[in-house]
Amino acid sequence: MVELLPRLRRFARVLARTPADADDLVQLTVERALARTQQWTVGTRLDSWMFRIMKNAWIDETRARRRRDLVFAPEEAGEHVGDEGAARVERRLEAVEVERELARLPEDQRLAVALVLIEGLSYREAADVLEVPMGTLTSRLVRGRNQVLARLAEAGRPV
């Protein structure tokens, strides 16, 4: 479970959009997983099980809080500007732009893109995590990816 923490945090950032909320979500996910270890079936992927717990925890949190946060750029994006070489800065700016465009996607598309293209889950595993048919996942993934690419192209970024 400890080895999954970086991946859980990345997925939490996609869901929550703010570092503080993402950290809280990771903590809540780990707490729920530890409390429900008897529900995990040996032979199933632990990462898929944890991603599903996180997705459900986030749904619970958003319903309880009735708010949504928008993050245009993470705080870390400006911490060391000038300390890095021009190429690293350019790559980081591109990553921030992709992250911003990903955040603009509807939640269903954002989650599909994050699980498949960022976390590397198979289509079947991602569909299971999101509890949707594989065709629905594929449709969300294609629409989300195309929107991000189109917006980056409009901004003059090579795609």
Residue-wise pLDDT tens digits, 66-124 = 544 444 455 565 565 555 566 666 666 677 787 888 888 899 998 998 888 888 888 99
The pTM (predicted TM-score) of the whole model is 0.55
Angle formed by the axes of helices 86-104 and 134-154, to 10°? 130
What is the DSSP-derived secondary structure letter of residue 42?
T
SS3 (DSSP) at 82: coil
Structure-block tokens of residue 118: 């960022």
pLDDT at 72: 46
Nearest to 77 by CA among 59, 62, 95: 95
**Over the Cα atoms of the chain, what is R_g?**
16
